[in-house]
Structure 1
């Protein structure tokens, strides 16, 4: 497995998890590290000549310095933008944490300095009626980076997600405050409250960016603050 491998979890959907993941890869690239990005499950894919493709998975594939085949980056692709377990049931496919983790391990066997595995949705998004997204990092035994979308309700979402990560026996290596809107009332107070109530370091405060790119996000990330 890569020297440093992290699972990227969001406190909810649409909190900017993929852009933060790509920014982490770009930040590591900027330090001369070899990088790898995986998004094992993706819903909301488009039909292409090469098969189903997901824009988030493509972003990670293209940002990473180690170019993996798409099927290794995103082995489970679904067309409808719905919960992955529902999309899988509609196609009569089964999502298993064992299988997903095994595929991730296979990809992560390539030598890399820095690798990320991005989840789908929030920490408790189901894979089936018995397993959730949290089962994947548990199987892999890797620390978590939590992306918090700074909006109304973010304190509760952040603390509940952090509690769940700890309850599942995993370590929160760092968290990211990501602005999902141009302005928010009491932004500083919200970030300060979360920081004071989490033991993990704040590795980035990312403002609302009109033009997104992995490099634009990377300039706000300090990967040296990550707990290994």
Structure 2
């Protein structure tokens, strides 16, 4: 299961996972983009189901998980990638609605996913693996809005708590600490604030924006058996931003 799958990291992950043999259930709000992605995966010989929905709505998440079980017999892995953020406005000037949306999508969205995914994995002998998308903003203030920094810290807390609670049941839970990536959200921000690209990459050892597939590859590793002794981790995919 991949959330935020209609573009960016989520879409790249969906294609990559399917190309490596996984059956994928794709969730995002934009139905047309999601349907096109699923159709493209199937045309390439993969298996994909599109389930339009909003991660902030528990019933939508429940429906996506149920589709995975119905279509493919279970849920072995989940990439909880949907996110939303803003930049350029200081904390005291932010509208409460921005705070609410940022926390709802990034924190409640992950919460809703975990609540629906874990029971299915508990019922499977093999357990499962979950990857949540956090950010370098989960470690330090990056210039993104204060609610986004707080939300991505919270994603790490949920990840570690879930890993500790369910490890004995064979469920691994990790997070990606994602650096500046050439996503739709980032491209929109750069169009509004052209100096943002240089600012976003200045700290990194590799001073460039990541391609979404570079993040997807890290998620693929965490979801497969090659990372079988990794859980509760916060894995940086940030071009060395957190190393300096």
Q: TM-score, normalised by structure 2?
A: 0.47
Q: Could you say which structure has the greater relative contact order, defined with CA pairs below 8 angstroms and 6 or more residues apart?
A: 1
Larger % of helix: which? Answer: 2
Normalized per residue, the structure richer in strand is 1
Q: Structure 1 length normalisation: TM-score?
A: 0.49
